[in-house]
């Protein structure tokens, strides 16, 4: 079977594919906000309907949180050795606030030709991950339209809690281990190398979320009356945070680096040879200088070095007005990005011991956070990797970069540990997609050629892997 | 003229006096919030009406901000030597948020007998400063009812921007220097020593408000992608704040203590002999240990030592949800409390130099704040002081404590510098009044005996000062 007819079909159907994606974007499936619970279910049901329309046996599956969507496709003419792929994506999105910083409403998708001549699709979840999910479904749609059948056994698993900690993912995988069995997982939640060069993500950092609250006086105090003798939780919290890194940018927690492997000289050389401009990468967000650990390149700081990051802080007067108040509490939100064999529970416990040790008299510290994921590295010898890599090369006419990623995708680790299979992660997002931020977008080209890429991947796997 | 009939009249009219105070509390005259601009004017007009009803020639006087209220009372039978007092108070109040921590609505005043058997009046501004202002007006009312005239020349000046920086106060005093001329100022915006012991505040710390914002990347970033190489404004801000105090609680700014006089051994002995329990003072707000400069008592830390305090902080994710975001900016709000000859502008400039020096590459720092007030000490030999002190002693049957105060009342300094007169500051608030915080209250006893105290003060000054 030739795939050129399929690719042509993809091209011809692009406008309608965009409209289908927009339908999904319009559902504000923000998984971290309880008020959007029904929206999450609507997004699940919409996705399930799409799968059924493609001929999948699909269902919305309840969990203690937001539901999963599972769909199965088994070709009628079944060769015994036909590969079975598990496609994973997520239908939930990040909150859209601050709303005032969006140029268009986050859940009213917009297709726009920007001043650089490129068409882009704007809306919350466009890149992370609804647009990427739809590249795969649209590839299946085109393939089916032309050939009447898909060339592989395909299971699709869509999660609704990726942005809220994936609390129910591992239990779901465990409970449905047999149903979800496959030869390999395909995940589309990562970036291209650049707008012209595809990439496959080979390693991911782990992630812990942690919140710390320092409490002092039983109530907010007047800073004139109590300023001096009353302990100040914001000051104490600032000391805790300021003490977490040394002057070289290293995390000061004891034994933090015990399970962090130094990158090999060969790896460092290979990464240094990549067409990566630190200036351009940082310059895109108004920065010039890598701010992570001294003596590591920006790429190394992202791909193979752990971090402690402060994601939010609040306490006392957060209004524009001047107020002579001493806050009763102050809170910070942190993430730790983990690499190598760093253990989430050990790191979390180490942070809590450190913070507790910094409390002066009259201050209490409390923490919120649990779970987390360790880092994963996908097996470079996986037999599906070559097929995916070749498919991408044919679509983009460039060899894909086999790269690391600073972000965590906990499902990769769960899939490895629970289902026993590796994940291949091509992705069509771009670094400037503004995921988790206002004005999230997905280039029309990412969407279009993402669909075409998946057509080639399905075809390539069906031909070359057995 | 005997004042006993006046005091009896105060007692008999108390319930109605409370109702009049409640009318004023119901006007949410929050001067820092533009949405309450009309409410501030309403409070001014209400106060002006009260003064007119008492026979004052009173008017609401526009300023570039919230209006002033000025009223004059000149007794018909005017002895050449009759003293002229200027009473100052403010009709504006602090914002009421966080609303959810109030037991009753802040602008719906409540009179309640609490479980300790004491009656208290709850509402925003009850203690700071509406209730205290009304003690003076109600004293005048009772005096007038009984005697038909007041025994002094009295000018009343009520400000509407005390809680928002008093930007227009000094210009107003300058522009109306002749009209506001008097022999002494009386200010009612301070605390009793305790619920049974009156106090006159003799010194006040100065105050600077300052806001600092650290900016890094041009937009919020994903902490997975950028965590490591991207500079983190929250981390930088935490370092700035954490570096502002040394381990002994001293402010680290260069030359910060140059203009801070050490308290004399005699003063320290006198203060140490006061019936002041650090345990009780701090214990009332859940604390045990003075957290200010080492080697100074809690009273000294409040009354004669300067501070740098953090009043608020915010940046990045301030929601309950977990978000993998790196903030583009982080902001902190500070106050400096000044003593001795510390100069507001020098201190502000010193802080700004220090913070700017802490910026790493790619971080910009900006500041907001201006003006501020230096510390003031009221002349202990003022001829009105003895009269006020004696009046208080007669009402409360205890010698008033001549105390310091940690808070700033900029008007005291302006009155000294512009009008050339001293301020005597008796006050009937209590330390647990929760001013600037939820559930602000004023004890009924503070209100009642505050009124009686002013009756005695007016009488005493008219008899003993000439």
Based on the fold, state whether residues A407 and A360 are members of the same structural domain.
no
| A198 & A318 share domain | no
Structure tokens at B186: 């009386």
Of B165, B228, B316, the CB nearest to A292: B228
| Terminal Cα-to-Cα distance of chain B (whole angstroms) | 17
Asked, for residue A156, whether it belongs to a domain, the answer is yes
Residue A207 touches partner B, C-beta closer than 8 Å = yes
Return the structure tokens found at B369: 């704040």
Q: Contact, B157 vs B357, CB < 8 A?
A: no
Is the model's pLDDT at A330 over the cut of 80? yes
A464: closest CA of chain B, how far (Å) = 33
Per mean pLDDT, which of A26-30, B80-84, B191-195 is the most reliable? A26-30
Residue A209 has its nearest CB partner, among B319, B322, B326, at: B322
Task: Please judge whether B323 and A219 are an interchain contact, meaning their C-beta atoms are less than 8 angstroms apart.
Answer: no
Using the beta-carbon criterion (under 8 Å), do A321 and B32 form an inter-chain contact? Answer: yes
Kindly list the distances between the CA atom of residue B333 and the CA atoms of A314, B213, B369, in Å, as whole numbers in the listed order.
Answer: 11, 9, 10
Q: Provide φ and ψ at B143, rounded to 5°.
A: -60, -45
Whole-structure pTM value: 0.73
Average pLDDT, chain B: 94
Q: What percent of chain B has pLDDT over 90?
A: 83
- Flag if B242 and A241 touch (Cβ within 8 Å): yes
Residue B269 resides in a domain: no
- ipTM rounded to 2 decimals: 0.72
Q: What is the Cα–Cα distance from B132 to B314, expressed in whole angstroms?
A: 34
Whole-number pLDDT of residue B464: 82
Q: How confident is the model at residue A379 (pLDDT cuts 50, 70, 90)?
A: low
Kindly determine whether residue B316 and residue A312, on different chains, have CB atoms separated by under 8 Å: yes
Q: Is B234 within 8 Å of A212 (Cβ atoms)?
A: no
- Give the model confidence (pLDDT) of A164-191 as tens digits: 989 999 999 999 999 999 999 999 999 9
A333 and A387 inside one domain: no
A287, part of any domain: no
B45 with B181, same domain: the answer is: yes
The answer to whether residues B28 and B142 belong to one domain is yes
**Option in A234, A242, A302 nearest B310 (CB):** A234
Contacts of B102 in chain A (CB under 8 A): none
CA distance B207 to B409: 9
Other C-beta atoms within 10 Å of B119: how many? 14
Given an 8 Å threshold on Cβ–Cβ distance, is A238 in contact with B278?
no
Cβ of A362 and B33 within 8 Å?
no
- Indicate whether A355 belongs to any domain: yes
Tell me, yes or no, whether B301 lies in a domain: no
- Residue A386, token pair as written in the block: 């070559």
- Cα separation, B217 vs B220, in Å, equals 7
- Look at residue A422 and give its three-state secondary structure: coil
User: Could you tell me if A177 and A95 lie in one domain?
Assistant: yes
For residue B202, report the phi and psi dihedrals to the nearest 5 degrees: -105, -20
| Any B CB within 8 A of A313 CB | yes
Domain of residue B329, CATH code = 3.30.70.360
A-chain residues near B217 (CB < 8 A): 285-287
Q: Which residues are CB-contacts of A183 (< 8 A; sequence separation ≥ 6)?
A: A83, A84, A85, A384, A421, A465
Q: Is B115 part of the contact surface with chain A (CB cutoff 8 Å)?
A: no
The answer to whether residues A57 and A106 belong to one domain is yes
Given A368, A385, A412, the domain boundary residue is A368
Among B335, B368, B401, the domain boundary falls at: B368
Our count of domains for chain A comes to: 2
Indicate the helix (H) or strand (E) that contains A169: helix A169-175
Domain limits for position B248? 206-260+306-368
> Which chain A residues contact residue B236 at CB under 8 A?
none
Say whether residue B194 is in contact with chain A using an 8 A CB cutoff.
Answer: no
* Greater model confidence, B409 or A288: A288
pLDDT of amino acid B1? 53
A275 domain-assigned = no
Chain A contact present for B318, CB below 8 A: yes
A285 lies in some domain: no
Contact B224 A205 (CB under 8 A): yes
Final residue of a structural domain among B368, B396, B412: B368
Mutate which of A317, A330, A332, A434 to test chain B, going by most B C-beta atoms within 10 A? A317
According to the model, what pLDDT value does residue A47 have? 98
- Evaluate whether residue B291 is within a structural domain: no
Check whether residue A222 and residue A358 sit in a common domain: yes
* B232–A309 CB contact, under 8 Å: yes
User: A183 to chain B nearest CA, in Å?
Assistant: 28
Same-domain status, A91 and A221:
no
From B228, B229, B307, residue closest to A227, measured CB to CB = B307
| pLDDT of B100 higher than 80 | yes
Residue with tokens 């609040």: A314
Chain B residues touching A234 at Cβ < 8 A: 241, 310-313, 332
Q: Is B2 on the interface with A (CB under 8 A)?
A: no
Chain A residues near residue B335 by CB distance under 8 angstroms: 223, 227, 324
- What is the rounded CA–CA span in Å between residue A13 and residue A19? 10
Give chain B positions within 8 Å (CB) of A201.
none
Q: What is the CATH number of the domain that holds A55?
A: 3.40.630.10
Confidence of residue A372 (pLDDT cuts 50, 70, 90): confident
> What is the torsional sign of CA B343, B344, B345, B347?
positive
Kindly state whether residues B181 and B239 are assigned to the same domain.
no
A1 — pLDDT class (breaks 50, 70, 90): low
Same domain, A49 and A162: yes
**Confidence at B101, pLDDT banded by 50, 70, 90:** very high
Label residue A109 by pLDDT band (50, 70, 90): very high
Residues A10 and A140 grouped into a single domain = yes
Between A and B, how many CB-CB pairs are < 8 A?
331
């Amino acid at each position: 079977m030739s795939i050129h007819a399929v690719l042509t079909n993809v091209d011809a159907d692009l406008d309608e594919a965009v409209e289908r994606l927009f339908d999904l974007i319009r559902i504000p499936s923000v998984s971290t906000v309880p008020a959007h619970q029904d929206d999450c279910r609507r997004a699940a049901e919409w996705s399930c309907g799409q799968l059924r329309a493609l001929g999948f046996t699909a269902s919305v599956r309840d969990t203690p949180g937001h539901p999963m969507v599972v769909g199965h496709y088994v070709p009628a003419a079944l060769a015994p050795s036909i590969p079975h792929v598990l496609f994973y994506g997520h239908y939930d999105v990040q909150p859209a606030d601050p709303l005032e910083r969006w140029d268009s409403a986050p859940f009213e998708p917009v297709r726009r030709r920007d001043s650089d001549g490129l068409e882009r699709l704007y809306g919350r979840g466009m890149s992370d991950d609804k647009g990427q999910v739809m590249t795969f479904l649209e590839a299946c749609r085109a393939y089916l339209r032309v050939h009447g059948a898909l060339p592989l056994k395909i299971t699709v698993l869509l999660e609704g809690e990726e942005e809220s900690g994936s609390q129910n993912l591992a239990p779901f995988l465990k409970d449905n281990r047999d149903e979800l069995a496959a030869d390999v997982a395909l995940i589309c939640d990562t970036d291209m190398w650049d707008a012209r060069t595809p990439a496959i993500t080979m390693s991911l950092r782990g992630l812990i979320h942690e919140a710390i609250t320092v409490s002092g006086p039983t109530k907010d105090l007047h800073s004139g009356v109590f300023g001096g003798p009353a302990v100040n939780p914001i000051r104490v919290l600032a000391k805790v945070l300021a003490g977490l890194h040394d002057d070289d940018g290293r995390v000061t927690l004891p034994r933090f680096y015990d399970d962090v492997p130094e990158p090999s000289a060969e790896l460092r050389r290979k990464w240094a040879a990549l067409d990566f401009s630190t200036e351009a990468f940082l310059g895109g967000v108004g920065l010039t200088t890598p701010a992570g650990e001294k003596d590591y390149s920006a790429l190394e700081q992202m791909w193979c070095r752990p971090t402690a990051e402060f994601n939010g802080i609040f306490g006392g007067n957060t209004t524009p007005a001047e107020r002579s108040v001493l806050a009763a509490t102050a809170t910070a939100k942190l993430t730790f990005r983990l690499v190598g064999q760093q253990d989430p529970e050990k790191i979390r416990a180490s942070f809590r011991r450190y913070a507790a040790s910094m409390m002066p008299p009259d201050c209490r510290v409390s923490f919120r956070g649990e779970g987390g994921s360790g880092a994963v590295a996908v097996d470079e010898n996986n037999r599906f990797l070559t097929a995916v890599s070749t498919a991408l090369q044919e679509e983009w006419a460039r060899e894909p970069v086999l790269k690391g990623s600073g972000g965590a995708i906990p499902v990769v680790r769960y899939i490895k540990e629970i289902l026993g299979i590796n994940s291949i992660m091509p992705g069509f997002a771009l670094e400037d997609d503004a995921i988790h931020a206002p004005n999230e977008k997905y280039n029309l080209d990412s969407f279009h050629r993402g669909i075409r890429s998946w057509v080639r991947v399905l075809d390539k796997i069906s031909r070359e892997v057995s």
